[in-house]
Amino acid sequence: MFVLELTYTAPLERVDAALDQHVEWLRKEYAAGHFLAAGRKVPRDGGVILAAGMDRATVERIVSEDPFALAGVCEYRITEFVATTTAPAMEQYREQLPS
């Protein structure tokens, strides 16, 4: 599982100019089963996406296709973790520690 943390590197006017395309990209990745949750940080200086079901190379490719990244208005920090415990509704994403 991955936590994708976006930090804006441009004024909000530039972020908002790419927002509709970013939302379409999010919808595409939700439909593909890659994203579990996403939203703005508070205060609004970036966002967070929870992603699962793929390897790091795939995550890096997907992130590079984000219209925010293509417009140069954000940077990503990708954190991979092993979700050994989950809420019951997310049990299908529970993982085992590697041997």
pLDDT digits (tens, 9 = 90+) for 14-25: 999 999 999 999
The pair of structure tokens assigned to 80 is 């991979």
DSSP secondary structure code for residue 52 in this structure: -
pLDDT digits (tens, 9 = 90+) for 20-64: 999 999 999 999 999 999 999 999 999 999 999 999 999 999 999
Q: How far apart are CA 5 and CA 71, in angstroms?
A: 17
Name the residue type at position 26: L
Q: Residue 99 — pLDDT band, cuts 50, 70, 90?
A: confident
pLDDT of amino acid 50: 98
Residue whose entry in the numeric block shows the structure tokens 């990209």: 25
Task: Supply the pTM of this predicted model.
Answer: 0.94
Q: Residue 98 — pLDDT band, cuts 50, 70, 90?
A: confident
